[in-house]
Amino acid sequence: MTPAAGGWPRWWLRRSAAACLLLPPALLFAAAAALRRRAWQSGWLRPWRAPVPVIIVGNVTAGGSGKTPVVAYLAQALRDAGWHPGIVSRGYGRRRADARPLAVQDDSTPEQVGDEPLLLHRISGCPVWVAARRAQAAQCLLRAHPRVDVLLGDDGLQHFALARDLQLVVVDARGRGNGWPLPAGPLREPWGRPRDATLGPPQARADSPEPFFELRRSPAGMRNLADGRLLQTAQFLQRYAAEDVSAAAAIGHPGQFFDMLRAAGLTLRHTAGAPDHQALPPEVLARLPGQILLTEKDALKCRPGQPGFERLWAVPLRLEVDPALPGWLLSRLRRDQSRSSDGFTPA
């Protein structure tokens, strides 16, 4: 599979001959996904209902669209409003043999709990649990943290075993691509699937009945992995004006990270991308010239002693969100609080 600059195969961006050849399996995928949704919606399969509100943050396309920073933002907004959020995730990237529910701790590793849950634990300060079955993660988290009064699901839009009160869809500048289902296109579900709100960059806004909240991302500085120095973007630009600067990312859309850095005034000498959740090979990083900028998620997998470690910098994100989002979210939560709490019912 040859990825395009946006991290997708090139045939996901337009309805090319390659995409047409994949339409038969794509139609089978779409039919199977529709039957599965129908099984949950009709009551043939019954989801587990948590005794607290559940907010799912997901996407309808394959690959990352920036869900994790949105979950961290929502967790902080809820805490500021007096709520006590917890976060559940499948923990994509964990060891395949380890599917049991597990609490994310300060000393957890990406191999144990997944890279995104570990990052969420570190930047949000909220309790985070992972499990192959998100309902199990939710049950364990609520037993361990009885003060938690709202759950955030990082991903899981297509996993219906955990009942949800709000569904938020995060999109990026790639939109729906060619608009076809996997593997002929990027869609896991129909683009217009039900949701309570859509979040994304201004160019992704489309006419739809649900609210749309704009997101903008920018660097919140650069933190050196070797000595912990934190430089603001202007300071970094001044300090390394005469040196090469490179960037690397193993996320769903590496080009979005590189574009964000360029928009902040950085000239990138070289870039390197890899599939989402993979560790960037140390030998690849060592070959990049000058100072090397990484996403926070990729920085979690780098280790002291690897070649060029002193040249690696994590780039925390500053997420600018439509200021109307917190008020809308709290209003919806207050409206849904009237439902009864029936405890830990069977999954």
The reported pLDDT for the residue numbered 188 is: 95
d(CA 131, CA 89): 7
What pLDDT sits at residue 65?
80
pLDDT at 185: 95
Tell me the average pLDDT across 176-182: 94
Task: Band the pLDDT of 298: cuts 50, 70, 90.
Answer: very high
The one-letter amino acid at 344: F
Name the phi and psi angles at 5, rounded to 5.
Answer: -60, -30
Total-model pTM: 0.91
Residue 277: what pLDDT? 82
Segment 1-24 shows an average pLDDT of 80
DSSP summary character for residue 241: T
The SS3 assignment for 99 reads: coil
pLDDT the model gives residue 337: 64
Which pLDDT does position 338 carry in this prediction?
A: 54
- What's the DSSP call for residue 90? -
pLDDT of amino acid 147: 97
Residue 165 identity: D
- Packing angle of the helix pair 115-124, 67-80 (nearest 10 deg): 30
Helices assigned H by DSSP within the chain: 17-21, 23-41, 67-80, 110-113, 115-124, 134-144, 233-239, 254-263, 282-287, 296-299, 324-336
Q: Is the pLDDT of residue 344 over 50?
A: no
Taking the C-alpha atoms of residue 293 and residue 319, their distance in angstroms, rounded to an integer, is 18
3-state secondary structure of 308: coil
Position with higher pLDDT, 66 vs 74: 74
Residue 60: per-residue pLDDT: 94
CA distance 217 to 281: 26
Higher pLDDT, 144 or 344: 144
Question: Tell me, what's the pLDDT at 289?
Answer: 96
Percentage of residues of the chain with pLDDT beyond 70? 93
Between these two residues, 52 and 2, which has the higher pLDDT value?
52
133 token code pair: 């079955």
In 3-state terms, what secondary structure has residue 10? helix
**Rounded to whole angstroms, how far apart are CA atoms 228 and 232?**
13
pLDDT of residue 342 exceeding 60: no
Mean pLDDT of 91-119: 87
User: Percentage of residues in the chain with pLDDT exceeding 90?
Assistant: 79
Instruction: Dump pLDDT digits (tens) for 236-247.
Output: 999 999 999 999
**What pLDDT does residue 206 have?**
74
Average pLDDT, the chain: 91
User: Can you say whether the dihedral through the CA atoms of 152, 154, 160, 165 is positive or negative?
Assistant: positive
**CATH architecture label of 45-216+321-336:** 3-Layer(aba) Sandwich (3.40)
266 has a pLDDT exceeding 70: yes
Domain boundaries, the chain: 45-216+321-336, 221-315
